[in-house]
């Protein structure tokens, strides 16, 4: 093992390809992992462009995330009128604007699978989960 390290050190610096090719490879790899995608439902973060699904806002798909706005003691609007009017609670960080300036949302594989069948995903954002199970109101604390 030590002899192998000595050989490697004696051959350093390694012969590399030209700088432009090396930089292009580095830039491509950095771009592949520099994306932060937050799931609209469970708020998990992915760094891969292929880890989940980016879709146009779909109210029917997100309907299981609809809550009674009177049971939530804070404002949870996301700025998307069709979701706010239906009281659908999502993680705002999952929204992005497409080049056509329409809102897009990111769903991880697990949440997308459950929402497509009209079910609540097993791992919800803590805020959404608390609202979905109808936690008691804390009005008596005021």
Is residue 44 one of the residues assigned to a domain?
A: yes
Is residue 105 one of the residues assigned to a domain?
A: yes
Is residue 23 one of the residues assigned to a domain?
A: no
Is residue 90 one of the residues assigned to a domain?
A: yes
Half-sphere exposure of 95 (CA within 13 A, CB side): 16
Is residue 20 one of the residues assigned to a domain?
A: no
pLDDT in tens, 36-49: 889 999 889 988 77
pLDDT-derived band of residue 139, with 50, 70 and 90 as boundaries? very low
Specify which residues 106 forms β-bridges with: 54
pLDDT in tens, 101-119: 678 899 999 999 999 998 8
- How many domains does the structure of the chain reveal? 1
CA distance 41 to 62: 8
Is residue 9 one of the residues assigned to a domain?
A: no
């Amino acid at each position: 093992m030590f002899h192998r390290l000595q050989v490697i050190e004696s051959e350093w610096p390694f012969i590399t390809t030209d700088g432009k090719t090396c930089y292009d490879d580095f830039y491509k790899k950095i771009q592949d992992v520099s994306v932060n995608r937050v799931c609209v439902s469970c708020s998990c973060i992915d760094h891969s462009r292929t880890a989940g699904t980016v879709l146009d806002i779909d109210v029917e798909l997100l309907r299981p995330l609809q809550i009674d706005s009177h049971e939530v003691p804070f404002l949870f609007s996301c700025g998307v009128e069709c979701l706010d009017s239906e009281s659908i609670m999502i993680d705002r960080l999952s929204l992005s604007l497409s080049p056509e300036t329409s809102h897009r949302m990111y769903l991880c594989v697990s949440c997308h699978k459950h929402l497509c069948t009209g079910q609540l995903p097993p791992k919800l954002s803590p805020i959404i989960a608390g609202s979905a199970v109808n936690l008691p109101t804390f009005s008596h604390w005021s």
